[in-house]
C-alpha cells in the first residue's frame, strides 16, 4: 500500500488559468509559492527559500474557484501528487510534478490579495472552502449536545 497525500499552504504566484478539455471538463491551473526556512551557513541568519508548486483543480469546482482565486492570495490546499511527461514541439522530453487539489481553503480575502483603486472601498470576500465530492454520500453531521443533567449512571441499563 502507498499513500499519496499533500498538504501545503502558500501564496498564489499568478492568476489562475481556466481551460476546458475537449470532453468539456473544466480545468483550473495555478501556481503556489511555498517557503522553506533554512539557516544561511555564511551569515548565520534564517532565510525563506521559496518552492514553486503547480496545482490543478478539475470539474465544476474549477470554474467556481476561477472566479474567487487571484494572484497573491494565501491558500491551503490538500490533494495528491501527479507526475506528467510529454514531448514539446521541438521534440524535447518534458515533465512536471503537480498537486491535484482535492480541497482548498482560502486563508486571505480576495480584497487583500488585490490592490483596490484609490477611493474605492471593497468589503473583503468571506473565506470559502471547497471539498472534492466523495464517492458515496456522507451522512449529515449533527451537533453533539451533552445529556440533560437529570441523567445519571444508574439510569443506564447496562
Domains of the chain: 6-134 (2.40.50.140)
**What distance in Å separates the CA atoms of residue 117 and residue 15, rounded to the nearest whole number?**
18
**The predicted structure's pLDDT at residue 129:** 47
Question: Tens digit of pLDDT for each residue in 21-54?
Answer: 999 999 999 999 999 999 899 999 999 999 999 9
**What distance in Å separates the CA atoms of residue 52 and residue 36, rounded to the nearest whole number?**
11
Q: What region does 72 belong to: left with phi over 0, alpha with psi -120 to 50, or beta?
A: left
**The predicted structure's pLDDT at residue 122:** 43
Single pTM value for the model: 0.66
Question: Tens digit of pLDDT for each residue in 131-149?
Answer: 544 444 444 444 554 555 5
**The predicted structure's pLDDT at residue 108:** 82
Helix, strand, coil % over all residues of the chain, rounded to 5: 10, 45, 45
**What distance in Å separates the CA atoms of residue 68 and residue 113, rounded to the nearest whole number?**
11
Cα dihedral 36, 97, 62, 89 in deg (nearest 10)? 130
Residue pair 78/7 in contact by the 8 Å Cβ criterion: yes
Question: Tens digit of pLDDT for each residue in 71-127?
Answer: 999 999 999 999 999 999 999 999 999 999 999 999 986 655 455 444 444 444 444
Q: How many CA atoms, within 13 angstroms, populate the side-chain half-sphere of residue 117?
A: 1
Band (154; pLDDT cuts 50, 70, 90): low
**The predicted structure's pLDDT at residue 150:** 52
| Entry field: residues in the chain | 158
**The predicted structure's pLDDT at residue 21:** 93
Amino acid at each position: 500500500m502507498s499513500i499519496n497525500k499533500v498538504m501545503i499552504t502558500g501564496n498564489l504566484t499568478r492568476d489562475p488559468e481556466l481551460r476546458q478539455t475537449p470532453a468539456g471538463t473544466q480545468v483550473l491551473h495555478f501556481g503556489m509559492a511555498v517557503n522553506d526556512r533554512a539557516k544561511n551557513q555564511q551569515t548565520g541568519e534564517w532565510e525563506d527559500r521559496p518552492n514553486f508548486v503547480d496545482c490543478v483543480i478539475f470539474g465544476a469546482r474549477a470554474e467556481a474557484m476561477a472566479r474567487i482565486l487571484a494572484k497573491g492570495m494565501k491558500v491551503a490546499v490538500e490533494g495528491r501528487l501527479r507526475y506528467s511527461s510529454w514531448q514539446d514541439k521541438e521534440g524535447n522530453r518534458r515533465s512536471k510534478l503537480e498537486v491535484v487539489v482535492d480541497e482548498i481553503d482560502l486563508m486571505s480575502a480576495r480584497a487583500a490579495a488585490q490592490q483596490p483603486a484609490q477611493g474605492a472601498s471593497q468589503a473583503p470576500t468571506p473565506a470559502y472552502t471547497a471539498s472534492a465530492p466523495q464517492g458515496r454520500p456522507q451522512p449529515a453531521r449533527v451537533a453533539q449536545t451533552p445529556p440533560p443533567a437529570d441523567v445519571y449512571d444508574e439510569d443506564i441499563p447496562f
